[in-house]
């Protein structure tokens, strides 16, 4: 895997974020569409984390890793809560928008990082 593959993946994730927010705005169900996207992104992150850590014999959790996993779990819980039918609740909307913003900012930051620093080998 090289940096071009990662750049293409990051650009496609960024486009998906923009498509979901645009379609949600046009259909006037932005919070519901953002909830679906948050659930998909969080499940992808959690599956990647579990797959990466399966072969580790002894795993020591750092604070940053625990914080990120708890934050993603909270975003997933509120996304599922919104999908079930409570997408008009103000607190649920706020958490979903914060999660969407964090995922969007992280994607943009990774894309900038990958475009500034060239990698020969990833993973």
What does the pLDDT look like over 6-31, one tens digit per residue? 888 889 999 988 998 888 888 888 88
CB 30 within 8 A of CB 87: no
**pLDDT tens digits along 62-120:** 888 889 999 999 999 999 998 898 777 888 889 899 999 999 999 999 989 888 877 66
The gap between the terminal CA atoms of the chain, to the nearest Å, is: 8
- Distance separating alpha carbons of residues 92 and 113, to the nearest angstrom: 31
Contact status, residue 38 vs residue 79, Cβ threshold 8 Å: yes
| 71 Cβ contact list (under 8 Å, min separation 6) | 102
């Amino acid at each position: 895997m090289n940096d071009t593959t990662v750049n293409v993946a990051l650009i496609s994730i960024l486009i998906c974020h923009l498509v979901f927010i645009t379609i949600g705005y046009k259909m006037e169900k932005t919070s519901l569409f953002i909830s679906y996207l948050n659930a998909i992104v969080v499940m992808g992150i959690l599956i990647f984390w579990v797959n990466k850590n399966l072969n580790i014999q002894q795993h020591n959790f750092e604070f940053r890793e625990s914080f990120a996993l708890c934050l993603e779990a909270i975003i997933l819980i509120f996304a599922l809560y919104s999908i079930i039918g409570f997408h008009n609740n103000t607190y649920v909307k706020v958490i979903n928008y914060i999660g969407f913003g964090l995922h969007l900012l992280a994607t943009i930051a990774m894309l900038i990082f990958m475009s500034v620093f060239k990698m020969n080998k990833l993973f």
